[in-house]
Structure 1
Amino acid sequence: MTDSPSLSVLATSFNSIAALYATARPDYPAALFDAVEELAGRPLAGADVLDVGAGTGIATRLLRERGARVTAVEPGSGMAAQLRADQPDLPLVRADGNALPFTLETADFVTYAQAWHWTDPERSLPEAIRVLREGGALALWWNKPDLGVRWAAEQQERLRTRLAGFHSHGISRRSTTETIMGRSGARLRVVEHELRWTRRVSLDGHLANLATHSYFSVLGRQERDALLADERAELLKFHPDGIVDEPYRVDLTVAIKAKAEGEADHRTYWASRDGKPRPTPQHR
């Protein structure tokens, strides 16, 4: 096993596989955007949204379908080119979340889909706060394998043993919340939520999805093909018909910028099943 790739190497590895990324990666369920609206206390329809680290525009497209006025922000040349090809009428700015080229209080939402962990929170958090209007929301979310499903948990363990530093740069919802609360110079109310969903794909589609993840995209072709071939053999034990129901857990964190009047509530909230935010036990 080779040394773990650096964060910068992993972050830029997507540019060479942008076309595959656009077709193989999963979308996000409608319930996610329902939750974003519920927890932020405002609709996406008619909102000015900066979708940062937009990649090939998977979340961008879904935000636009909800009626948001979206400007995509993407630093990678390959990813931005794919996004431009797929959504040619979309405003696109080549930049990253550490230095947003927008003026003060220009957005109702700043969103990061699968992208916040590529930023430096010491820089990206103040930048998000700066461009958000009062009452606006920073929304961060990730599709993650649901490790409560046996075959998915076993797959993650296999990959951990074969890929150097596998997910060593990863994040958790709790660490994200603690980062926001600990480093924010503005008054924010942080709300957490998770939901589960599945996507049915062919075995080939699932393996293509795996190949778009950074720890695969930095491998040499021979090593990558061998690893994917081994995964195919293992997965056929669980999915002999060649159809895979990919189980996902979506982790969502929403941080709402308080209005100038009144004091902010700095507690962390957990969104209960009825969608109403309630304080988490450790912050009661």
Structure 2
Amino acid sequence: MPHTNRTTPHPRALSFDRAAAQYAAARPGYPPALFTTVEELIGRPLSGARTLDIGAGTGISTRLLHDRGAHVTAVEPGPGMAAELHRSLPQIPIVRGDGNRLPFATASADLITYAQSWHWTDQALAAPEALRVLRPGGALALWWNVSDHSVPWIAGQDARLRRFFGADGGAHGSPVRSRDLPAGLGFVHRTVPWMRRVPLDTHLANLGSHSAFLVLGDEPTRRFLTEERVRLAELFPDGTVEESYVVDLSVATR
């Protein structure tokens, strides 16, 4: 497993290392419709595509790209996350690094993906690096799972998170606005709704695996999640939480 660490990642990005196993077990994946939409927008199947999954974490998107037939290399700065990825996906090559300075040859990739990770980059560095590494006709795909705030119980939880962390904080994520993406790349945007049903414990572990909680400390995190457990147990008396998401997808072709 090659190791290259050429940049200093965002400090909060490395907070995930302390919860790598929890992250792998509790975080949501992505629906098949997302990858079908990616294929439509890039104009080719994922099968056989030379793909770099940047900020791969524990390999949630890496595994799904591999399952679609992509020749995928995972790129991850955190040693704990990279170790968890290697444990579960030993067949996938892993490079230690991040998007700000990609340790790959010019024009060597058909597709570069960022699943839940573009916001950890310095866009002034990451966008030119992606364009350098993509072959002509290659594509950059960025996506985020965003909790569907049109669902009343999710909106209520989001309000509690914002009160707890402050107006700009939280663990649900926010829809990615076009002005937050690098200008001049001609991004095309799509949304893909989906849902999953998980035990209450998994839902709370998912919340607790977000960086806002990981940098907060054990005691205030435990207090919030304990109170949230009581509220959600009333809403979901059978102990199964229905999480609704909208994947916010942006794709640009070089």
**Does the TM-score normalized on the shorter chain lie above 0.5?**
yes
Q: How many residues align?
A: 244
Residue 202 (structure 1) aligns with = 199
Paired residue for 1:141?
143
Match of 2:42 among 40, 46, 69: 40
CA distance in 1, matches of 2:178, 2:14: 23
The structure number with the bigger radius of gyration is 1
Q: 2:248 aligns with which of 246, 251, 271?
A: 251
Asked whether the 8 Å contact 1:117–1:171 carries over to 2, the reply is no
**Are the equivalent residues in 1 in contact too, given 2:112–2:141 (CA < 8 A)?**
yes
Hey, what's the Cα distance between the residues in 2 that align with 1:36 and 1:167? Answer: 28
Q: Which runs of 5+ in 2 are unaligned?
A: 1-8
Residue 71 (structure 1) shift: 0.6
Shift of 1:239: 1.1
CA shift for structure 1 position 171: 5.9
- Superposed counterparts of 1:60-71, under 5 Å: 60-71=62-73
Moved more, 233-242 or 131-140: 233-242
Paired position in structure 2 for 1:280: none
Summarize the Cα distance change of 1:167–1:119 in structure 2 as closer, same or farther, 3 Å threshold: farther
Work out whether residues 144 and 248 of structure 2, in 8 Å CA contact, stay in contact via their aligned partners in 1: yes
Task: Select 1:159's aligned residue among 155, 158, 161.
Answer: 161
| 1:237 positional shift | 2.6
Which of residues 96, 107, 110 in structure 2 aligns to 1:108?
110
Per-residue CA shift, 1:30-49, capped at 9, x if unaligned?
00000000011111000000
Runs of 5+ consecutive residues of structure 1 not aligned to the other structure? 1-6, 258-284
What's the CA shift for 1:238? Answer: 1.6
Match of 1:212 in 2: 209
TM-score by length of 2: 0.92
C-alpha RMSD of matched pairs (Å): 1.6
Quote how far apart the aligned CAs of 1:242 are. Answer: 1.1
CA–CA distance in structure 1, aligned partners of residues 143 and 96 of structure 2: 21
1:77 partnered with 2:79 = yes
C-alpha distance 34-244 of structure 1, shift in aligned 2 (>3 A): same
1:51 matched to 2:48: no
Q: % of aligned pairs identical?
A: 55
Within-5 A mapping of 1:229-240: 229-240=226-237
Match in the other structure for 1:268: none
How do residues 79-94 of structure 1 correspond to structure 2 at under 5 angstroms? 79-94=81-96
Paired with 2:246 and 2:74, the residues of 1 have a C-alpha distance of 25
